[in-house]
Structure 1
Amino acid sequence: MKIKEIIVVEGRDDTARIKLAVDADTIETNGSAIGDHVIKQVRLAQETRGVIILTDPDFPGEKIRKTISEAVPGCKHAFLPKHLAKPKNKRGIGVEHASIESIRACLQNVHEEMEDQPSEIAAEDLIHAGLIGGSAAKRRRERLGDILKIGYTNGKQLQKRLQMFQITKSDFMSALDDVLREEQNE
């Protein structure tokens, strides 16, 4: 599988894993303290080939994603669910631990930023769905993010991410139904 866009990852272990899964070029941020030279590389990549951001599903990875996204608008995003980024019998979490199949799957479900459009999903919808507040909210947001392939986000950022990736109310409701059905079957 050949990827036209350049994939932004955190480090060389991520690059090595990506290259086992797909034929693609990468830019490595080498941590969450992203220098101007990296932003310039990403900006040039966005102008010439496009960019897909694929960072670890943890706080530093989200920080990197947000920093790049704010500095270079219009990037595409691929999300790897936490449970697919954990190594077997080891500590840590990251793209470098994901299976080849998981990497390919997340790169086939890329989302493009679209912040200019109003969201179909209101904050009240999120509260009513139990995605903000309550003991099950975090787990529900985590599963919703996995199902919609938009990654995990806290309650404050969920509506923004749904808007950014233009998740329709229909798709949102369908994913929410899946989450609630899973809860009933536990």
Structure 2
Amino acid sequence: MIKEIIVVEGKSDTAAIHRAVEAETIETGGSAIGAAVLQRIMLAQQRRGVIILTDPDHAGERIRKIVAARVPGCKHAFIIQELAEHKGDIGIENASPEAIRDALANVKSEYQGAVSQLAFDDLIKAGLMLHPDAAARRLEVGKTLGIGYCNGKQFYKRCTIFQISREEFEAAVEQLDRRGLKDE
């Protein structure tokens, strides 16, 4: 049984979580999160802790940001789009039990007021920004670091709030450079 309560978007996500692990969930009901739901998430965070596991799409990222802003100290689990996609539909409900278990095993804690060991220049030098393959490179490095896919600015922010060390970052980029992009 997972101690923390997992925040998901809907009933089908809860069903997918239950197929993968024994855990309790709070469903946001989509991106229009009401005050009552946020209050339940706050109480869950105070009593047991919260893990946010939302869909790897724009709406899921919006929900993650809203919850994290209103409920400090949440943990984050990420599943990449390719592991949560079925016939063009992207969502936690499409992820395999193994992908869900992996995401929950690699949960990241957020540190408010954290200072980054990295600079935007590090992302540029690594080809994660201002590079023709920057998006694909961020996807691969994000997988390795367990912080999911996002744009350059959000990638930098996630590296900061999840306290990704320079060593971790450089090792992930080096791994990508050794293996190359999947489409190459």
TM-score, length-scaled by structure 1? 0.95
Match of 1:138 in 2: 135
Write the distance in 2 (CA, Å) between the matches of 1:16 and 1:183: 36
Q: CA deviation at 1:39?
A: 0.7
- Contact 2:9 2:55 survives alignment (8 Å): yes
Q: CA deviation at 1:156?
A: 1.3
Write the distance in 2 (CA, Å) between the matches of 1:61 and 1:81: 12
DSSP-derived class of the 1:46 partner: helix
Q: CA deviation at 1:54?
A: 0.2
Write the distance in 2 (CA, Å) between the matches of 1:184 and 1:144: 10
Equivalent residue letter for 1:65: R
Structure 2 residue ranges without an equivalent (≥5): none
Write the distance in 2 (CA, Å) between the matches of 1:117 and 1:67: 19
Match of 1:10 in 2: 9
Write the distance in 2 (CA, Å) between the matches of 1:183 and 1:177: 10
Write the distance in 1 (CA, Å) between the matches of 2:142 and 2:160: 13
Q: CA deviation at 1:91?
A: 2.2
Write the distance in 1 (CA, Å) between the matches of 2:42 and 2:135: 34
What is the RMSD computed on CA atoms of the aligned residues?
Answer: 1.1
Equivalent residue letter for 2:179: E
Cα pair distance change 1:184/1:91, threshold 3 Å = closer
Q: 2:163 aligns with which of 162, 166, 172?
A: 166
DSSP-derived class of the 1:118 partner: coil
Which moves more between the two structures, 173-182 or 27-36? 173-182
Write the distance in 2 (CA, Å) between the matches of 1:166 and 1:61: 22
Matching of residue 21 in structure 1 with residue 26 in structure 2:
no
Write the distance in 2 (CA, Å) between the matches of 1:182 and 1:154: 22
Write the distance in 1 (CA, Å) between the matches of 2:141 and 2:62: 20
Match of 1:81 in 2: 80
Match of 1:70 in 2: 69
Match of 2:52 in 1: 53
Write the distance in 2 (CA, Å) between the matches of 1:93 and 1:182: 26
Match of 2:100 in 1: 103
Write the distance in 1 (CA, Å) between the matches of 2:162 and 2:19: 28
Give 4+ residue runs of structure 1 displaced > 2 Å after superposition.
Answer: none
Equivalent residue letter for 2:159: L
Write the distance in 1 (CA, Å) between the matches of 2:156 and 2:95: 27
Q: CA deviation at 1:184?
A: 6.9
Summarize deviations over 1:140-172 as a string: whole Å, max 9, x none. 111111111101110111111101000110000
Q: CA deviation at 1:46?
A: 0.2
DSSP-derived class of the 1:141 partner: helix
Q: How many residues align?
A: 183
- Contact 2:137 2:181 survives alignment (8 Å): no
Residue identity (%): 52
